[in-house]
Chains A and B, each alone.
Chain A
Amino acid sequence: MYTAPTLDFFGQLNLGVALPALAVMFGSMIVLLMGLFVPRERRHSVPIAALSLISAGFIMTLFTFNPPDAEAFGGMYRGDAFANMLNLIVLATAFLAILGSTDYLRMTQINHPEYYTLLLLSTSGAMIMAGANDLLLIFIALELLSIPLYVLAAFRTTDGTPTDEVSSKSQESGIKYFILGAFSSAFFVYGAALVYGATGTTNLNAVAEAVQGLAAAGDFGTAGTLLLLGAALILVGLGFKVAAVPFHMWTPDVYEGSPTPVTAFMSVAAKAGGFASLLRIVAVGLAALAVRPEEAAAWQPAFQLVAILTLVLGNVVALAQNNLKRMLAYSSIAHAGYILMAVAAVGSAPLVEGIGDSAAQSILIYLAAYMFTNLGAFAVVSAVEREDGSGVMLDDLNGLFNTRPWLAVAMAIFMLSLTGIPLTAGFIGKYLVINAAVQAGLIALAVVGVLTSVVSAFYYMRVIVNMFLRSEAEGVALPVVGQPLLVAVYASMAGTLVLGILPTLLTGLVNLVQLV
């Protein structure tokens, strides 16, 4: 019998839970058109529009924080508390990054309105990645996150020739990021193909069912080989994105060459998106992939190894850096290692009750703490950076306490938080991920985490010593710092301290997180 088409289909899509990400994605188009039609002398309204869009997305996320029915697009997207918490983190990242961008773009004469569109598109990519529950959507969101970032990394390109050193560095970082990013996506896609071949589906919940079915039958057979190989390739692909060792080679060069606000944004947003997908794939899709039931997941040793390598190499090589941006790049590699500790802990889910959810919660709190701290540190870097890209060596911070006391105090707090000193946000995050590793029975991993944390204190303290105990070079004029950038610095400082002193403000939200 003929049935007339109805609008029920749109109700079934359940778009409401995906609204924040969709709003940011479509809103970025409005920002693009604004850049086209708004006359040049009123261009300052473009970042304001971008900031309002992000605030609107933030409010929408809070309203739909833990919806009763989180599935949208037929199960491809899950707008659950996990996704929404990450959305809040990514939106805050974009907000602070835009505050830090306006003056930087003007100073370096790259004040093109497309910058904000690209930043917003990348933000929406990270937001969709946080909720993506299907390998297909994860892949598309990953590219939506990455492709604008390739452009942004190379954004300091001057039109005319000859080009100066800064713009050629920016181009170099763009192409390095692009080639390794595309390389890693190819690994991810091939891994997804193998998982699809073994299970016949790309939806993570259906993958989990198929894996459980195979585990119950007691014999994985060829499917087991395909799944293990697929999981390994996905780890390689997403490992590149989150800068885990041995897939980290691009990180220092890209972080050094990119415009500083872009570095700040990518160091947090790309990691948040990458870890969201990695966690969903292993905790939801491949949780039951074990050699024998009642045993830790078969992928756990690989994750442990990568975490240990990342922790050791990131922290040790950071000791030898003299450039602040490079040092923060190695520090961000090390922080990926701490988060990977919690991801590895998820592998013990068949043995330890509730470890999956508590590890996911610890990752969210870690990312929130890392977001405030790292964005603040990069904001201070762009406050001392000069037009020609100089002024970002460690020695350039000498005597900052005498010339700009508040910036120095803020930077000191960020460094203490990155080390993980109590009363800062970094301590809470580090405590929780190490706690997750201990609960999961990964004692060796936890010990490595604590020891490398001690090593990291050396290079973070060097910054503090330079700022407070050394005296400044004579006759070097400090660049003028704009108001928005200062707001970003102080907001990050407040966030770092508030999270460190009153973590309950965040744990209330995070305790709602369950990975299904």
Chain B
Amino acid sequence: MNFSVPTEAFIVLSMVLFVLGAMGVMLRKNAIIVFMSVEMMLNAANLAFVAFARQWMHLEGQVFVFFVMTVAAAEVAVGLALIVAIFRNRNSTNIDALHQMEG
């Protein structure tokens, strides 16, 4: 018997991951955790792309995933550098403490 996981299951899982990631960005305070949540949202999109690519039986979606991963790596490089610079300056990565400018 040939049984495979239906595409819908992947899409539902990716939506759950995406929403969890979005909630993490909005609710967590540590800049690194926030950043990890963004990565989780991107990976949720990757999962959706791969699942849809399997459904359509071509590779365009999988190619997209490689580009998303590359860009995410570039974002890590810049983002971690920024977080380190902030940490050196304030000894904390709490983003709620970043309120020098308001209004």
Asked whether B45 is an interface residue with its Cβ less than 8 Å from the other chain, the reply is yes
Q: A171 touching B86 by the CB < 8 A rule?
A: yes
Q: B85 touching A190 by the CB < 8 A rule?
A: no
Q: A197 touching B18 by the CB < 8 A rule?
A: no
Q: Report A163-217 residues with CB < 8 Å from chain B CB.
A: 163, 165, 167-169, 171-176, 178-179, 182-183, 185-187, 189-190, 192-194, 196-197, 200-202
Consensus secondary structure, chain B interface: helix
Known: A182-B38, A186-B38, A190-B41. A147 touches B75 (CB 8 A): yes
Asked whether A161 is an interface residue with its Cβ less than 8 Å from the other chain, the reply is yes
Q: Which residue of A lies closest to B99 (CB)?
A: A172
Q: B52 touching A196 by the CB < 8 A rule?
A: yes
- What 1/0 mask marks residues of chain B from 1 to 43 whose CB sits below 8 Å from any chain A CB? 0000000000100100010011001000001001100100110
- B22, B41, B64, B95: the one contacting A175 at CB < 8 Å is B95
Consensus secondary structure, chain A interface: helix
Quick one: which of B75, B98, B101 has the most chain A CB within 10 A?
B101
- A136, A147, A172, A179: the one contacting B35 at CB < 8 Å is A179
- A157, A172, A185, A252: the one contacting B98 at CB < 8 Å is A172
Q: B103 touching A326 by the CB < 8 A rule?
A: yes
Known: A147-B74, A183-B25. A196 touches B41 (CB 8 A): no
Q: A173 touching B45 by the CB < 8 A rule?
A: no
Report chain B residues within 8 Å CB of A323.
103
Taking residues whose C-beta sits less than 8 angstroms from the other chain, chain A's interface range is 35 or more
Known: A139-B71, A172-B98, A253-B101. A200 touches B78 (CB 8 A): no
- What 1/0 mask marks residues of chain B from 35 to 65 whose CB sits below 8 Å from any chain A CB? 1001001101100110110011010110110
Report chain A residues within 8 Å CB of B75.
143, 147, 178, 182, 185
- A167, A178, A253: the one contacting B82 at CB < 8 Å is A178
- A143, A193, A253: the one contacting B74 at CB < 8 Å is A143
Q: B58 touching A169 by the CB < 8 A rule?
A: no
Report chain B residues within 8 Å CB of A165.
100
Asked whether A506 is an interface residue with its Cβ less than 8 Å from the other chain, the reply is no
Please count how many residues in chain B sit with their CB below 8 Å of the partner chain's CB atoms.
45
Cα-based distance from A147 to B78 in the complex (angstroms): 7
Q: Which residue of B lies closest to A181 (CB)?
A: B75
Q: B41 touching A183 by the CB < 8 A rule?
A: yes
Asked whether A413 is an interface residue with its Cβ less than 8 Å from the other chain, the reply is no
Cα-based distance from A200 to B34 in the complex (angstroms): 32
Q: B101 touching A196 by the CB < 8 A rule?
A: no
A266 to chain B, nearest CB (A): 15
Q: A139 touching B68 by the CB < 8 A rule?
A: yes
- B56, B83, B89, B100: the one contacting A200 at CB < 8 Å is B56
Contact sample, A vs B, 29 pairs, CB 8 Å cutoff: A139-B71, A150-B78, A151-B78, A161-B89, A171-B85, A172-B100, A173-B101, A174-B82, A179-B34, A183-B25, A185-B71, A186-B18, A186-B38, A186-B42, A186-B45, A192-B45, A192-B64, A193-B14, A193-B45, A193-B49, A193-B61, A196-B49, A197-B55, A202-B60, A202-B64, A257-B100, A257-B101, A320-B103, A321-B103
**What residues make up the interface of A, taking CB atoms closer than 8 Å to B?**
135-136, 139-140, 143, 147, 150-151, 154, 157, 161, 163, 165, 167-169, 171-176, 178-179, 182-183, 185-187, 189-190, 192-194, 196-197, 200-202, 252-253, 256-257, 320-321, 323, 326
The 7 closest A-B pairs by CB, nearest first: A186-B41, A197-B52, A193-B48, A189-B45, A190-B45, A200-B56, A182-B38
